[in-house]
Structure 1
Amino acid sequence: MRIVVNHLTRMTAPRICVAGLEIETCEHVRPTTPAYDLITRRLLRQAGGVFRMGAVVDLGTVTPEPAPPESEDHRFETNRARHVKDLTGAEFVDLLDNVAAASLEDGFGPDLERVGWKYAVETGRGDRSLAVVKVRRRPALEIDDKYGRLQLRFDDPDPRTYLSVTDVRFFEPDHTTPRKAVVDDVARRLRSGVDAFLMLGLARAYQAPADDRERHWLQLNGLVLVDRPVGDTP
């Protein structure tokens, strides 16, 4: 199976999560592995691996392992993944434009619910956990003053929402420290009106403080600006 990589998500360092659009169907696929074959930073192109924003990667033989809402999960072996080529910026933007949903609701369906300033899906519900949305109103990338966390203020919904940014390209190898120069550059380009696509995903279920149940919380797995859509730096 071949995918075009469009989600590059930090986990506990050095682990990452990746996902992409299957070449033939343009449906999302999330490669997964057993605990003895973890997906880590060594598989990023900048570290000599295969995964990079806009890269075409052959995963080899995959086994579907869907579990709502993660219908996109497919088991693969990391040592069988092969880099095929990199899409041009124009090719990648065209692909995202073709698959982009018009709204969060269109992207994730009716099980996506508003929870305060955030969005989430309850455990065991939903039929997809990945989507692409093209921004209509200018968003803002910022580091939260209170907690020091990187977030995107997304104004398309009414009222606005705040998305936790998990795009690994925004963080140092510890997966905690934001790369301030990168954040500042992307924030400036967004303020100047550069169009952007959001690679959105539902996190694995957990119970937030003061909540009464586990939920899959919406997060920003990848931020693609059309003036520099591919590569190791957003």
Structure 2
Amino acid sequence: MGKIIVTDLTRFSNPDKVCIAGIDIETGKCIRPLPYLSIAECEKLHVLPGTILSGNFTKRLQLEGPHQEDRNYQNLSFHGSCSLDEFKKALEYGLVNSIEEGFNIELERNQKHIPIKHDLNRSIITLKVHPITITIAEDSYKPGQIKLRFCERSNRWFNYMPITDLGFYDCAMKHHKDDDLDRLNQYIKSQKEAYLRIGLSRSYQSPDGRQGYWIQVNGIYTFPDYFKEIRSYA
């Protein structure tokens, strides 16, 4: 029996399914429980970022590509919520200086995927970025949708990155529909610290033929405060 602190609560195109990942309290390793949970299961387990879950986590026989964090699970149960300091510590177990460092690759300008043949042993990392560099904006290619812009500590900018953080995305979309993204952006920029959980999708081939693992923003967390509307899975 192990315990994890949930650090990633991510959405799918199927709104009833949720992917969670967390940090093992004893080892500091990242664990992604599979199969994916339903929204109803998340509600039952009170799953939000910072939730402590216990369960029997066992390594899957066939791990795919960089998704070496995948684990089978049994007997998931709720064990309360961690403290702010415990949550920050969990995030920092995966801390790297850049996406290139975290995924051991040199990216071309505007490259947003890891090629399918690139050898990797992880699919989730943490970046610490300055909050003032974070901006949620409308996707210029898909009006009505939103993307994230941010700058790494290496001074590299990433533009129009997909947001898969479920609670953050739902909150930001509500503000976008109300023409009020500025309020959310201003709040983020007012904070002292920000951490981004950066994940890789499952293998996907884009319409132009590029196949690989696409970079996405699994979690957006600010300190010392967070926007109270954000943390929800409903």
TM interval, shorter chain, is 0.7 to 0.9
Aligned mates of 2:34, 2:65 — CA distance in 1: 15
Q: Among residues 162, 165, 169, which one is paired with 2:163 in the alignment?
A: 165
1:134 aligns with 2:128: yes
CA gap of 1:231–1:5, structure 2 versus 1, over 3 A, is farther
In the TM superposition, residue 93 of structure 1 has moved relative to its aligned partner by: 1.7
Q: Among residues 114, 119, 126, which one is paired with 2:112 in the alignment?
A: 119
Question: How do 1:66-77 and structure 2 match up within 5 A?
Answer: 66-77=63-74
Secondary structure at 1:178 match in 2: helix
Question: How do 1:172-187 and structure 2 match up within 5 A?
Answer: 172=170, 178-180=173-175, 185-187=183-185
Deviations 1:14-61 (A, max 9, x none): 11111011112211111112xxxx5111132xx232421011111224
Aligned mates of 1:191, 1:52 — CA distance in 2: 23
Corresponding residue of 2:20: 18
Aligned mates of 2:66, 2:219 — CA distance in 1: 19
Aligned mates of 1:119, 1:195 — CA distance in 2: 24
Aligned mates of 2:99, 2:169 — CA distance in 1: 25
Corresponding residue of 2:37: 39
Q: Among residues 91, 102, 106, which one is paired with 1:107 in the alignment?
A: 102
> What CA RMSD, in Å, does the superposition of the two structures yield over aligned residues?
2.7
CA gap of 1:231–1:15, structure 2 versus 1, over 3 A, is farther
Deviations 1:112-166 (A, max 9, x none): 634x524211225322101111114622122324412221102225552122101
Long gaps (5+) in structure 2: none
CA gap of 1:21–1:150, structure 2 versus 1, over 3 A, is same
Secondary structure at 2:187 match in 1: helix
Corresponding residue of 1:3: 4
CA gap of 1:215–1:200, structure 2 versus 1, over 3 A, is same
% same residue: 23
Aligned mates of 1:118, 1:41 — CA distance in 2: 32
More strand by share: 2
- Normalising by structure 1, report the TM-score: 0.82
- Normalising by structure 2, report the TM-score: 0.82
Quick check: 2:198–2:215 contact (8 Å CA) kept in 1?
A: yes
Corresponding residue of 2:52: 56
Quick check: 2:170–2:230 contact (8 Å CA) kept in 1?
A: no
Corresponding residue of 1:219: 216
Deviations 1:74-124 (A, max 9, x none): 1124xx1111121112321233235411211222222x634x524211225
* Stretch of structure 1 that moved more, 117-126 or 13-22: 117-126
In the TM superposition, residue 229 of structure 1 has moved relative to its aligned partner by: 5.5
* Number of residue pairs aligned between Structure 1 and Structure 2: 220
Aligned mates of 1:150, 1:83 — CA distance in 2: 32
